[in-house]
């Protein structure tokens, strides 16, 4: 890989401009790491310029893209109505208003038109995780957050009576949304409904554990030690598993328990998410709160931020090789493994140049092409 990269970089100036642009694009993101619908739009533009193109295939590709675009917009409409129920309350002060960005993120995981209903549930579930992350970081003390999570574990509306007034509406909103998702899955005769609630509570606990790191100003001695604890904080395993569940009959309990055990492939997906997030959010989070990211742990060896990022990117490359190996081993149906790969792809995409979920301007053009501009 190093040999190929160095030679391609040295050749760029001698290549035809169009080919040079494609080489630069590939060096930035190899094809197997690209988000499928984002790549579909890019490839239509590139393929259209080829003299040897097949115009029938090109027409079908454009039709496919344009047919899915209004479907995604209809999903966004439903999600916006749902989100406004909470946004009208005080939580707009601390929660990132990122429904469009979250939908874009999850389209990268599940883009197929027949999965529209599943995708809406996936976005709601993931948006609630984001809400819990923001609540933990910006709107509660450690003690208050622990009380909130304990109430979630009891999972009944009576638990809300014991919460401070400012937490009650949030608790009920989460309870109602997750319960609605579970009821819809029961109507579909989904066999894995109980995991929907369990995965959400487990991730909420991970956020609480990260908060305690912050309070204790704990810095793991080695990146390996850090990742043993922090891969769970990436939420990647949880998103992979909730996606498995929403896919219906193809998913077995064995597949869910396989992902829950953090096998090498799933752990690698989490590493891609964790480190990519850390590299892009390190500087901001060091200003607003003290969190020992993998970047901070790496810097304990007396190296600069840039050197730490370079070393961590090597770990991302190694993790991708584990993901590829997982697909070759086929321990689960490929239809499921592809969704795990997609989670790694969207993590790579959202944290490529910035923390695009927190600061979405960097993906504004991509989102516009996904939802607004037809081909």
pLDDT tens digits, one per residue of 166-214: 788 889 999 999 999 999 999 999 999 999 999 999 999 999 988 888 8
Name the DSSP class of 50. Answer: -
Name the DSSP class of 1. Answer: -
pLDDT for residue 317 is more than 70: yes
Phi first, then psi: give them for residue 291, nearest 5 degrees.
-125, 125
Name the DSSP class of 93. Answer: G
Contact 309, 295 (CB under 8 A): yes
Phi first, then psi: give them for residue 61, nearest 5 degrees.
-60, -40
Residues 6+ apart with CB under 8 A from 254: none
Query: Rounded to two decimals, what is the model's pTM?
Result: 0.94
Segment 97-151, tens digit of pLDDT: 899 999 999 999 999 999 999 999 999 999 999 999 988 888 888 999 999 999 9
């Amino acid at each position: 890989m190093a040999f190929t990269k160095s030679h391609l970089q040295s050749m760029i100036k001698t290549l035809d401009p169009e080919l040079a642009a494609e080489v630069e694009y590939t060096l930035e993101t190899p094809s197997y790491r690209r988000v499928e619908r984002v790549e579909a739009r890019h490839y239509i533009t590139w393929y259209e310029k080829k003299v040897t193109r097949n115009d029938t295939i090109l027409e079908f590709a454009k039709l496919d893209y344009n047919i899915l675009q209004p479907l995604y917009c209809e999903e966004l409409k439903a999600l916006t109505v749902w989100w406004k129920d909470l946004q009208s309350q005080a939580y707009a002060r601390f929660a990132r208003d990122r429904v469009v960005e979250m939908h874009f993120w999850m389209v990268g995981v599940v883009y197929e038109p027949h999965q529209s209903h599943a995708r809406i549930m996936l976005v709601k579930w993931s948006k609630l995780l984001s809400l819990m992350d923001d609540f933990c970081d910006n709107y509660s003390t450690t003690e208050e957050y622990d009380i909130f999570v304990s109430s979630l574990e009891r999972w009944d509306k009576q638990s809300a009576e014991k919460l401070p007034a400012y937490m009650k509406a949030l608790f009920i909103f989460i309870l109602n949304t997750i319960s609605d998702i579970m009821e819809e899955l029961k109507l579909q005769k989904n066999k894995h409904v109980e995991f929907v609630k369990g995965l959400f509570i487990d991730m909420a606990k991970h956020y609480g554990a990260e908060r305690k790191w912050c309070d204790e100003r704990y810095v793991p001695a080695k990146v390996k030690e850090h990742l043993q604890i922090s891969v769970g904080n990436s939420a990647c395993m949880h998103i992979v598993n909730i996606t498995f569940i929403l896919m219906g009959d193809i998913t077995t309990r064995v597949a869910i328990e396989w992902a829950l055990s953090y096998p090498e492939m799933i752990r690698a997906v989490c590493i891609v998410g964790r480190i990519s997030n850390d590299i892009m959010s390190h500087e901001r989070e060091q200003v607003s709160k003290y969190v020992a990211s993998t970047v901070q742990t790496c810097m304990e060896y007396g190296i600069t931020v840039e050197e730490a990022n370079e070393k961590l990117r090597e770990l991302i490359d190694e993790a991708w090789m584990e993901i590829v190996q997982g697909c070759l081993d086929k321990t689960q149906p490929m239809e499921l493994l592809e969704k795990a790969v997609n989670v790694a792809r969207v993590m790579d995409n959202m944290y490529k140049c910035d923390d695009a979920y927190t600061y979405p301007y960097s993906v504004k053009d991509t989102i516009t092409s996904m939802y607004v501009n037809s081909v």
